[in-house]
Structure 1
Amino acid sequence: MIQPAGPDALFSIRDLAETFDVTPRTLRFYEQKGLLTPKRRGSTRLYTAADRARLVLILRGKRVGFSLDEIKEMLDLEALDSRGTAHLENSLNRFRERIGILKRQRDDLEEALAELRAGCSWIEDRLANREPPEDIKRRARAFELLAAARLTPWTGSSPE
């Protein structure tokens, strides 16, 4: 689990990339999109605890299927709040739509998993029941005895 950072902590691009298993290029792309705003010390990017927290939210948003533009809008909810309730209601509707989509995807996944589990059970049963049924065994023994009896005149030995 990723540990929270103190409010005055600063992180290099490498620190965040390694901590969150993303590439430095990804972080620069998020900066270009206005999702992260690191401080600069010369050409070095220094990310604050707030940038780090935003990165956690960005990655969480991507994981549940939001676009980067939608994530940016959600991250800027404070600014949206100052523009009135219409923007907040729009964001709320997007959240609810995404919840519905994710629930449908979960249901589809559960159904697919159930079908795969049933297939595994069927295959396991086939593998466990490789022993032929008794009637097949009886016919095979009868065939073997018949074949042995017919071979006796040629081989001179008696059937076992």
Structure 2
Amino acid sequence: MSNKTWSISELAQEFGVTPRTLRFYEDHHILNPIREGQKRIYTHRDRTRLKLALRGKRLGFPLSEICSLIDMYDGPGSTDTQLKTYLDALQKHKSQLLQQKADIEQTLAEIDYQEKQCFALLQHHS
């Protein structure tokens, strides 16, 4: 493992986030930088945890689930168990998103229908 460390601005720049984002993840115990006075020093572990947190965010996971998945990755355990837990989380999240997509499509179809009704009524009254 590398002994390389990063400052808050270096890590923020590398991942295209703001220092405020890093402090947010620190407040939620995802990142745990070494402190030298006011200066934060991020380790390889912090960098990996940030990468996982941002991936979870991109996938739309809630913060609580991101935290538990990262902690699982960080803790002891077999890779198979970790992969199965992650796969379960992905499948559950995918199912929720597919349901939301179906709900949105149904709502959009209803809006289309209502729009057509309004246009027809407007034409009729013209």
Shift of 1:98: 1.1
Give structure 1 regions of 4+ aligned residues with deviation exceeding 6 angstroms. none
TM value normalised by structure 2 = 0.64
Structure 2 residue aligned with 1:121: 116
Structure 1 residue aligned with 2:58: 60
* Aligned equivalents of 1:126, 1:20: Cα separation in 2: 50
Structure 2 residue aligned with 1:141: none
Count of residues in Structure 1 that have an aligned counterpart in Structure 2: 116
- Gap regions ≥5 residues in structure 1: 1-6, 132-160
Matched residue SS, 1:40: strand
- 1:39/1:47 contact within 8 Å kept: yes
Higher relative contact order (CA 8 A, sep 6+): 2
Which is further off, 44-53 or 119-128? 44-53
Query: Larger Cα Rg: Structure 1 or Structure 2?
Result: 1
- 1:36/1:55 contact within 8 Å kept: no
TM value normalised by structure 1 = 0.53
Q: Which AA in structure 1 matches 2:31?
A: L
Shift of 1:77: 5.5
Shift of 1:34: 2.1
Does residue 91 in structure 1 map to residue 89 in structure 2? Answer: no
Structure 1 residue aligned with 2:100: 105
Aligned identity (percent) is 26
- 2:6/2:41 contact within 8 Å kept: no
Question: Deviations 1:15-65 (Å, cap 9, x if unpaired)?
Answer: 67xx547x93x643421322123343421335579265345325324xx2x
Question: Deviations 1:96-151 (Å, cap 9, x if unpaired)?
Answer: 111111101110011001111211122122223323xxxxxxxxxxxxxxxxxxxx
Q: Which AA in structure 2 matches 1:92?
A: L
